[in-house]
Amino acid sequence: MNKLIPVIGLLFLFATSCKHEEKKHETTPKLQVTKLIEKDTIITRSYVSQIHAMRHIELRTLESGYLQKIYVDEGQNVTENQLMFSIKPNLYQADLQKSAAEANVANIEYKNTKLLADKNIVSANELALAEAKLDKAKAEVNMAQTHLNFTKIQAPFNGIMDHLHVREGSFLEEGELLTTLSDNSKMWVYFNVPESEYLDYVTDTTREKTKKVSLQMANGKKFLHDGVVEVIEGEFNNETGNIEFRATFPNQESILRHGQTGNILMEVPYKNAKIIPQKATFEVLDKKYVYVVNEKNEVEQREITIAEELPYLYIIEKGLKNTDMILIDGLRKVRNGEKIEIDYKEPSEVLSNLTLSAE
C-alpha cells in the first residue's frame, strides 16, 4: 500500500504540470497580425435612379369633335410631322368656307370704295373703314384655317408613342388626352446625392469638368454607354438632406425607356487610402473597433472611423497609424490587455487571400 503513494504523487505532479502548460498556452495564443496597407484606390458609389426621356409630352386635342381616324399604334416609332390622329373636319371646313366668302365680299367692297376714293367721291375715312373690314375678314379666314389644321394632329418630334387613351369614333373635348410621346434618343437619369457626398464632389479639384458615370439596369447588367453628369439642382430637399443630380446617356439602340429605374454607379478616387480587412474589426454599441498589438505584445482595443466600405475591406478615416499592428485572427479568443504571440503576415499577403482585393 505504501509503495503506491509515490506513484500516485508522481501522477499528480505530472497532471498538474500538464495543466500549467495548457493554461500557459491558452493565455499566450499565437495569432495573426498585420499592418494596414496604404494605396491609391477607387470606390464605386451606387445611387437609386429614375430614367426619363429627354422629351416626354402629352398629345391633347386643340379642338372638340369626333375622332375620325387613328393612324398610329401603341409603342410605334413615329417621325416628326407624321400624321397621328384626325378629328372629323366637316364643321371646321364649313367655317373656313364661310370666312373665305366673307373675305371675298370685303375685298370687293374695298376695291369699289378705293375706285370712288380715287375720284374723290367718298372720303378717305370710308376707304380706311373698308380696308379694316377686309383685314378683319382675312384674319377670320386665317383663324378658320388654323382651327381646321388643328383637326390633323401630327408628331412634334421623332419619338415612341405610348398608350392610346381614345378610340376611333369617340367624341373628344377640347384638351382631351390622346397619348404620350417620348423622345428616347437621349435619356435623363435623375439620382439623389447626400449633402456630404455633394460637397466632396464639388470641391474635388482633380475631377474632370464632365464627370462620367455608368448605369446599372434593373437586370443587374451595365448599360452599353457611359453618361455624364450635366446638371445639379439648385436646392436641397429639406426632408431628405439630398440634392438631385442629372446624368445624360445616349440611347441610340432604344434600350432605355421613359419611366425605367436603375442605379447610377459613380467612381470616386481615394488617394493614399488606409485599407484593412473587414474581418479585423468588431462592433460594440454601433461603434467599430480593432485590436492593436503594442510593444509588449498586448492587445489594446481601439475605436476606428470607417470612411468607405469595399467588398471585404474598409477604408479607415481615423483611428490607426501606418505603424500599428492589428489583430486579424482570433478576435473572440482574446480580451483587452491580454498578451499574445505574434504571427506576422504581410498586408499584401492578407489582401491576396481575401475573395476580393481593393482594386
Q: Point out which residues pair with 342 in neighbouring strands.
A: 31
Domain boundary, last residue among 213, 246, 271: 271
State whether 242 and 164 are in the same domain.
no
State whether 316 and 252 are in the same domain.
no
Tell me the average pLDDT across 220-235: 93
- The rounded radius of gyration (Å) of the Cα atoms in the chain is 41
* CATH code of the domain covering residue 146: 1.10.287.470
Please give the pLDDT value at position 258. 94
Q: How far apart are the first and last CA of the chain?
A: 74
Q: How far apart are CA 237 and CA 241, in angstroms?
A: 5
Q: Point out which residues pair with 282 in neighbouring strands.
A: 289
State whether 297 and 346 are in the same domain.
yes
Residues contacting residue 80 through CB under 8 Å, at least 6 positions apart = 155, 156, 157, 158
Whether 146 is in a domain gets the answer: yes
Residues contacting residue 350 through CB under 8 Å, at least 6 positions apart = 34, 277, 328
Please give the pLDDT value at position 120. 85
Number of domains in the chain: 4
Tell me the average pLDDT across 119-139: 88
Please give the pLDDT value at position 17. 54
Phi, psi of 262 (to 5 degrees): -175, -165
Which of 37-46, 78-87, 213-222 shows the lowest per-residue confidence on average (mean pLDDT)? 37-46
Highest mean pLDDT among 2-6, 183-187, 345-349, 353-357: 183-187
Whether the pLDDT of residue 126 is over 90: the answer is no
Please give the pLDDT value at position 178. 95
State whether 260 and 205 are in the same domain.
yes
State whether 80 and 164 are in the same domain.
yes
* CATH code of the domain covering residue 302: 2.40.420.20
Least Cα distance to 234 among 266, 206, 188, 198 occurs for 198
Whether 304 is in a domain gets the answer: yes
Whether 133 is in a domain gets the answer: yes
Domain with 140, as residue range(s), is: 89-150
Highest mean pLDDT among 29-43, 247-261, 304-318, 344-358: 247-261
State whether 256 and 288 are in the same domain.
no
Q: Which grid cell sits at 259?
A: 419611366
Question: Band of the pLDDT at 24, cuts 50, 70, 90?
Answer: very low
354: DSSP letter: S
Tell me the average pLDDT across 255-282: 91
Q: What is the DSSP track for 54-97? A: EEEEEEE-SS-EEEEEE---TT-EE-TT-EEEEE--HHHHHHHH
Model confidence pLDDT, tens digit, residues 140-194: 999 888 888 888 999 999 999 999 999 999 899 999 999 999 999 999 999 999 9
State whether 238 and 342 are in the same domain.
no
Please give the pLDDT value at position 16. 54
State whether 171 and 67 are in the same domain.
yes
Q: How far apart are CA 134 and CA 109, in angstroms?
A: 8
Whether 17 is in a domain gets the answer: no
Please give the pLDDT value at position 1. 47
Whether 20 is in a domain gets the answer: no
State whether 93 and 75 are in the same domain.
no
Question: Band of the pLDDT at 6, cuts 50, 70, 90?
Answer: low
Please give the pLDDT value at position 93. 84
Domain boundary, last residue among 242, 271, 300: 271
- C-alpha distances (whole Å) from 108 to each of 10, 111, 113, 208 are 143, 5, 9, 70
Whether the pLDDT of residue 336 is over 60: the answer is yes
Q: What percent of the chain has pLDDT over 70?
A: 91
What type of residue is 217? M
Whether 4 is in a domain gets the answer: no
Q: Rounded mean pLDDT of the chain? A: 87
The size of the chain, in residues, is: 359
Tell me the average pLDDT across 11-39: 67
Decide which of 8 and 205 is more confident.
Answer: 205
Whether 15 is in a domain gets the answer: no
Q: How far apart are CA 162 and CA 198, in angstroms?
A: 36
State whether 97 and 144 are in the same domain.
yes
Largest Cα separation within the chain, whole Å, is: 166
* CATH code of the domain covering residue 208: 2.40.30.170
Q: Based on DSSP, count helices (H) and strands (E) in the chain, helices before strands.
A: 5, 19
State whether 163 and 145 are in the same domain.
no
Whether the pLDDT of residue 327 is over 80: the answer is yes
Alpha helices in the chain (DSSP H): 4-27, 90-118, 124-149, 195-203, 347-352
Which of 13-22, 51-60, 246-255, 305-314 shows the lowest per-residue confidence on average (mean pLDDT)? 13-22
For 258, other C-beta atoms within 10 Å of its C-beta total 21
Tell me the average pLDDT across 222-249: 93
Please give the pLDDT value at position 358. 40
For 269, other C-beta atoms within 10 Å of its C-beta total 12
